[in-house]
Amino acid sequence: MILTTITFIIVLGILVLVHELGHFIAAKKAGVKVLEFAFGFPPRIWTKKKGETNYSINAIPLGGYVKMLGELEESKSPRAFENQKPGKRFMISVSGVLMNLVLAWVLLTIGFAVGMSPLVSDPDTIPGKKLSSEVILADIVKDSPASKVDLKAGSIIKGAELNGEIFTFNTISDLSKFTKSHYGQTIKLNVIPENSKELKSVDITLQGEKDAPLGVVLVDKTIIRVPWYKAPYVALRETAKIVELTFDFLKSFFAKLFVSGKVSEEVGGPVAIYTYTGLAVKAGVMAVLQFVALLSVNLALLNILPFPALDGGRIIFILAEIVARKKVVKERIENIIHTAGFVLLIALILLVTYKDILKLF
């Protein structure tokens, strides 16, 4: 519990710090006056002024912000955000997203260089040395053969026994071929339960769906070490695939939200992140590394969405200005739109958090 809480705060801290650092550095480079660089949301715990900027730590560690002169109020100062050329404002707005993508890439580069299981790629497509390979039971389908016996998610499926012969499963393909070729038969499935080192045998009859006689969701955990000079490229390719899959999910999420008004059960807020942080901590340092990389990509894509108060919302106004060659919306009106968007975002976060809490009970 304590370790999970500490890790949760550190994880959020890294994600927020990297994102806001992107905005901060870009603003400073552009000559914009930064009034405050803050971690968390008020009330304020600690603050110190260095130069022209207040550096603050706030009580609610669920975000952060960089407050720039002329960002939310009118200012005639040449150093105000609103008085910069559209190109500079665009770079300041997009820099946080870029930093989160860079963070994911760096973490995955380290992971592959040390030895890590790919998150979304087929292990056979990774140019490296396989250190180990395991088939993990991720979930059990309702009313399937697996649901009728003593099997738990998180178990490692080592192999099976049939007619005195022992079969070993190193990949999902090995297991899938075995179950399909022995459809209708009763086998002994050899598993190592989560948080255990003892091998356990379970009698199970392969039946039901012929394409999935066991009725389980599996994860292929193959640890691969990539040569250091190839790791950056492999990590870049993995990051691109994560971006693609995350973007597809976000499209379906918002389509469902706006069409039916329902929030997908697969979406989680701070409570879900806390829960998954605990699972990652149990799985080890590399799992935490992967989790942070995934969250960083998610944070980047969420922020680039064209919604008021998000980076993407500000970018839309800037792009419209570039195309029209003039301010399309007055600064005061744009600020009102962003404020309204922020209120809606907070409401959505509270709704998702409420659903997360209900799931716990």
Using only C-alpha atoms, the chain has a radius of gyration, in whole angstroms, of 24
C-alpha to C-alpha distance for 313 and 63, rounded to whole angstroms: 17
Look at the domain 129-224 and name its fold: Pdz3 Domain (2.30.42)
Task: Return per-residue pLDDT of the chain as tens, 361 residues.
Answer: 788 888 888 888 889 899 999 999 999 999 999 999 998 888 889 999 999 999 999 887 777 889 999 887 788 899 999 889 999 999 999 999 999 999 999 999 999 999 998 888 888 889 989 888 888 887 887 878 888 887 887 788 888 888 888 888 888 888 888 888 888 888 888 888 877 778 888 888 887 666 777 888 877 788 999 999 999 999 999 999 999 988 888 777 777 766 666 655 555 666 667 676 776 777 678 888 998 999 999 889 988 988 887 888 889 989 988 888 887 777 777 777 877 877 777 776 676 666 666 665 6
pTM: 0.80
Cα-based distances in Å from 42 to 58, 61, 65, 298, 355: 5, 9, 11, 24, 24
Domain ranges of the chain: 2-118+234-360, 129-224
List residues with catalytic annotation.
Answer: 20
Residues whose CB falls within 8 Å of the CB of residue 4, separated by 6 or more in sequence, listed in order: 274, 277, 278, 281
Neighbour tally for 81: CB within 10 Å:
25
Residue 40, CB half-sphere, CA atoms under 13 Å: how many?
17
